[in-house]
Amino acid sequence: MKKSVKILWRLFIFGFVFFLLVLLLADFGVFGSMPSISDLQNPSASQSSQVYADDGTLMGKYYLEDRVNVEYKDISPNIIKALIATEDERFYDHSGIDPRSLARAVFFLGSKGGASTITMQTAKNLFTENWGTSNIFLRMIQKLKESIIAVKLERNFTKNEIATLYLNTVAFGDNVFGIRNASKTFFSKEPDRVSVEEAAVLIGMVNAPTTYNPRIYPKNALDRRNLVFDQMVRNNYLSATEATDLKKKTIQLNYKKLDETAGLAPYFRMVLGEELKKWGKDHKKADGSNYNIYKDGLKIYTTINPRMQLYAEEAVAKHMAYMQKLLNVQSDVKSGAVWKGHENVLEAAMKRSDRWNNMKKAGLSEEEIKKAFKVKTPMKVFAWNNNRSKDTTMTPYDSIKYHRQMLQAGFMAMDPLSGEVKAWVGGIDFKTYKYDHVNLNTKRQVGSTIKPLLYSLAIEDAGFTPGTMVEDVQQTFKGFGQVPATPKTCTGRTMPMAEALATSRNCATAYIMQQLGGGNEGAKRFIDFLRNCDVKAKLDPYPSLALGAGEISLMEMMQAYSMFPGRGFNVKPMYITRIEDKNGNVLQTFTPQRKEVISDVTAYSVISMMQGVMQFGTGRRIWSYGVSGEIAGKTGTTNDNSDAWFMGYTPQLLCGTWTGCDDRFIRFNSTALGQGSSAALPMWAYFYAKASTDKNVALDRSSVFAKPEVMQNDISYDWINDVPVDLGAEGDDVGNGGSNDYGAEELLPQTRPEDIKPESELPDTSKKEKLPDGTDKPKAIMPKKSGQ
């Protein structure tokens, strides 16, 4: 043998041994960690967690990668054929590595296609990190690792399972991962309903998700789709005639992407997400790690009713758009005088803005930045229309004023017996205003809505009845001064407690507090009672607490009020029914948390008095909104009209509303406009008028409050003949207003509420999907709740 031949053989053997050694080293993890057999048998990738409404409607997702797994049987054959034809023609013939493709890639240096098979790409998606590196040496090592993993995958999975793994992990456009989310996002279809041309568009994207995104680059996507058709013809999945006909079609998208703002009930989902993060820290998976809502593909089933949620959003938008018009024409708001003395608020907001921070990073001085904030600039701002935005030109400084002068709102509806939350609206527009006004952490002065709780204590513990006579006279509390602060709203009359509540008499309410204990003893007693109602807000034991001086969240008020329609039982608001893992295993179920706080006799006594509020008192305007049936409630207004409330309920439903500006010095100067009956009650009425007439919501307007058998006498309403037409103010030091400005409609009859669409949007069910045989696709059937 010639010496040169010997050298070649030695080089070959050495190279072969070296190659085997490199393979072994790579397999043992010398060049980076390799997946274990267990990892290969149970591959995982980040999956989005999904949130469902009470009827199974997908409300939204939490994700880092928007991906949801789907099984092979639920993927259209059109997708599989397009995938094989385009990405790996010999997929069913090789064992993870395609020698022909590898030789072609080496010989032509990749100019005529790469060597990656579907199995190798799956390995890359599942197990290889930093695969986008431009370092050639690292890329070679990664390709080697992909090849080893690919062979192992082929040993552990069938071809169909590998194709499914690939389709579940591959990236599509718009930060969408996996075939199910891609088909739902771009065509609003489940992947088993995708047509040939839609499959070609989707598979065309996997090579370059952004370049071939049909939403952004329709021409690129069309060309790529047609190339997929050619590949399907080449591999006998389509005939040439079929491909020619399909190429004549344009791409018809039905694009709908669920993100933090686009799904149902965005404020609720934001609060829910924070709750689920805490839940994940307290619950561990089988491997000992904590659950992560952004990666673990959890399924969260909630109590939100989609139709009631839309009615709530619609009611808030309709009324707040109307009230904003009235606030905007108020002289101090229109002229900007409302900001006099509060320039520090504007400066703080300016310095927190992205614009300020970006200019600061660019090296501009504070003086230069402030000057730039006074220059008119084209911008998009929030507006009360169906787009909830408008293009305008104003200075950034003025835009801060503009946005902070918007009235905010909070609305919550729940079942008073189970505590199931049915609707949650935390503000006027989630895209612009992320701050939620419903949750436990957002507290505002509650005004007169505190009174039914005080009256409950008086009945339960002090022997009062709705007919007990009380004095509507300013009270002096030793060591704490006089309550209310001014006697100008006191009538000096003696009246039944039922009348005092119906007409929201502050002085009579202070008298009741006085009977519960002089000094601040009555206030301490009342705080203990509120604690028993699960009101956890920090409240100081001042006698003025009787008039609603304390700050409490809307959610806490909802729980406290639940004891009235709950026949003495208080129930905690509940918005999750169960949580499942990605495989459908139930991780936790949730049940109502109820406890008895007052007797059913006390509860019914307060209900009767609160029905008087609606029939003869501060809530009587509700009947002008087309509602009917038994309704009990209480309006609330705080000092200077900074906060307006209405808490109302029927035998089947409890709803609470609040409205006001985040900056409390921005408020209505007119008591008639700023009080709870004008600013908050109409939202409740608009909502209930629609919800109670929707057969799908199943509220019975003929239901009545159950009267305890031991009660024999009803409340006497002989006092109603003395109730004035103008009931005046509920808060202190705000004046009574004139008879001409009582009621917003009377003030500006030419201004009508705008019919603005709700912020959320339900899936379009008008177009029914068809099964292959032409019949309608059946509706999904939700699994039964635990215990059913």
Strands 594-596 and 377-381: unpaired
Q: Which of these, 558, 581, 560, lies nearest to 569 by C-alpha position?
A: 560
Residue 773: band (very low, low, confident or very high) from pLDDT cuts 50, 70, 90: very low
Residue 48 confidence (pLDDT)? 87
Specify the pLDDT at position 762.
63
Residues 6 or more apart whose CB falls under 8 angstroms from that of 375 comprise: 395, 396
Q: Among 634, 628, 630, 627, which residue's Cα sits nearest to residue 651?
A: 630
Higher-confidence residue: 186 or 746?
A: 186
Look up tokens 């206030």; give the residue: 523
The answer to whether 697 touches 415, Cβ cutoff 8 Å, is no
Contact criterion met (CB below 8 Å) for 16 and 29 = no
Q: Kindly give the interhelix angle for 118-127 and 159-169, rounded to the nearest 10 degrees.
A: 50
> At 260, is the pLDDT very low, low, confident or very high (cuts 50, 70, 90)?
low
Percent of the chain with pLDDT over 90: 66
Asked whether the beta carbons of 410 and 443 are under 8 A apart, the reply is no
Name the 3-class secondary structure at 252: coil
pLDDT of residue 788: 36
Nearest to 418 by CA among 662, 168, 221, 592: 592
Task: Fill in the DSSP letter of residue 596.
Answer: E
Residue range 11-37, pLDDT digits in tens: 766 665 555 555 555 555 545 555 555
Distance of alpha carbon 29 from alpha carbon 22, whole angstroms:
11
Asked if pLDDT for residue 108 goes beyond 90, the answer is: no
Helix-helix angle 343-352:396-404, to 10 degrees: 110
What is the mean pLDDT of the segment spanning 597-610? 96
Rounded to whole angstroms, the Cα distance separating 327 from 330 reads 5
What residues contact residue 594 under an 8 Å CB cut-off, 6+ apart?
419, 566, 569, 570, 571, 572
pLDDT score recorded for residue 38: 57
Judged by average pLDDT, the poorest of 43-52, 108-117, 146-155, 239-248 is 108-117
- How far is residue 650's CA from residue 234's CA, in Å, rounded to a whole number? 68
H/E stretch holding 685 = helix 681-691
DSSP string of 709-744? TT---PPP-GGGGG--SS---SSTTS----GGGSSH
Q: What does the alpha-carbon distance between residue 657 and residue 304 come to, in Å, rounded to a whole number?
A: 17
What single-letter DSSP state applies at residue 54?
A: T
pLDDT of residue 738: 28
Measured distance CA(626)–CA(22) in Å, rounded: 80
Q: Judging by beta carbons within 10 Å of its beta carbon (0-12, 13-18, 19+), is residue 523 exposed, middle or buried?
A: buried
Per-residue confidence (pLDDT) for residue 758, from 0 to 100: 83
- Exposed/middle/buried for residue 764 (C-beta within 10 Å: 0-12, 13-18, 19+): exposed
Q: Which of 161, 177, 173 is nearest to 47 (CA)?
A: 177
Q: How far apart are CA 415 and CA 389, in angstroms?
A: 34
pLDDT at 489 over 90: no
**Cα 22–chain centre separation:** 52
Distance CA 22, CA 143 (A): 12
H or E element at residue 234: helix 218-234
What's the pLDDT at 434? 92
Q: To 10 degrees, the CA torsion angle through 69, 193, 55, 755?
A: 120
Tell me how crowded residue 782 is: count the other CB atoms within 10 A of its CB: 13
pLDDT of residue 420: 98
pLDDT of residue 63: 84
| Average pLDDT of the residues in 347-367 | 92
SS3 484: coil
Helix (H) or strand (E) holding 268: helix 266-282
CA–CA gap between residue 229 and residue 249 (Å, rounded): 12
Q: Lowest-pLDDT range, 1-5, 136-140, 277-281, 651-655? A: 136-140
Token digits for 750? Answer: 């030419």
Q: State the average pLDDT over residues 428-444.
A: 95
pLDDT of residue 25: 53
Which of 153, 98, 102, 105 lies closest to 127, judged by CA? 153
Among 6-20, 348-362, 457-471, the range scoring the smallest mean pLDDT is 6-20
**pLDDT at 724 (0 to 100):** 58
Mean local confidence (pLDDT), 608-626: 94
Rounded Cα distance between 412 and 408, Å, is 14
Residue 40 has pLDDT above 90, yes or no: no
Structural contact between residues 69 and 180, judged by C-beta atoms closer than 8 angstroms: yes
Q: Which whole number is the average pLDDT over 38-61?
A: 80
Residue 207's pLDDT band, with cuts at 50, 70 and 90, is: confident
**Residue carrying the six token digits 């790690």:** 289
Are the CB atoms for 290 and 449 separated by under 8 Å?
no
Nearest to 171 by CA among 229, 142, 131: 131
What's the chain's length in residues?
A: 788
pTM of the model: 0.81
For residue 227, which of 207, 209, 210 has the smallest C-alpha distance? 207
The Cα 683–Cα 285 span in angstroms is 44
Average pLDDT over residues 114-142: 64
Average pLDDT, the chain: 85
Among 199, 168, 188, CA closest to 48: 168
Give yes or no for a cis peptide into 416 (omega within 30° of 0).
no
Picking from 57-71, 145-159, 370-384, 442-456, which range would have the lowest pLDDT averaged per residue? 145-159
DSSP 8-state symbol, 272: H
pLDDT of residue 54: 95
The pLDDT value recorded for residue 157 is 84
Tokens 């200019």 -> residue? 359
Give the pLDDT band (50/70/90) at residue 765: very low
Look at 349 and 766; give whichever has higher pLDDT: 349
- Residues in a beta bridge with 475: 483
Catalogue the E-assigned strands of 382-497.
Answer: 390-394, 408-414, 421-425, 443-445, 469-471, 475-477, 481-483, 494-496
How many helices and strands, by DSSP H and E, does the chain display?
A: 28, 23
Average pLDDT over residues 304-311: 97
